[in-house]
Amino acid sequence: MAIRTNSEQKQHSTCEGRAAGMSQASPSRVSTSFAERHYTVAEVAAMWNLSPDKVRRLFENEPGVVVLGDEAPHRGKRRYRTLLIPESVVERVHRRLSRV
């Protein structure tokens, strides 16, 4: 099972040739994200009165969201992933969607 944020997944896919352990993630950004409150898809869906599927689609590619689960499921099986959404990401997406 892999545990990566969306930004780390993009970084990993573009930097596969680099040596392991040479991450470019900023330590201050990682520690800030670690210390803040993380919401589940169900919690955000209840707060915003949306379906969990809609919330999952809104946040699955947002930078900073922690994705837990298999990257490539076995053939013929659906993938099971858990999204943990930091409070700062919830606020950022809400601001973006609230612009009219």
pLDDT tens-digit profile of 77-86?
777 889 999 9
Give the domain extent around 100: 1-7+30-70+80-100
What was the pLDDT predicted at 13?
A: 44
Task: Please check whether residue 56 lies inside any domain of the structure.
Answer: yes
pLDDT digits (tens, 9 = 90+) for 17-57: 333 333 444 444 444 557 899 999 999 999 999 999 999 99
Name the domain count of the chain.
Answer: 1
As given in the structure block, the two tokens for residue 14 are 């573009």
Q: What is the dihedral of CA 15, 37, 90, 65, to 10 degrees?
A: 20
pLDDT of res. 69: 87
Which pLDDT does position 100 carry in this prediction? Answer: 65
Tell whether 44 is covered by a domain. yes
Specify the pTM: 0.64
The whole-angstrom separation of Cα 50 and Cα 57 is 11
The whole-number pLDDT of residue 15 equals 42
Whole-angstrom Cα distance, residue 65 to residue 87?
10
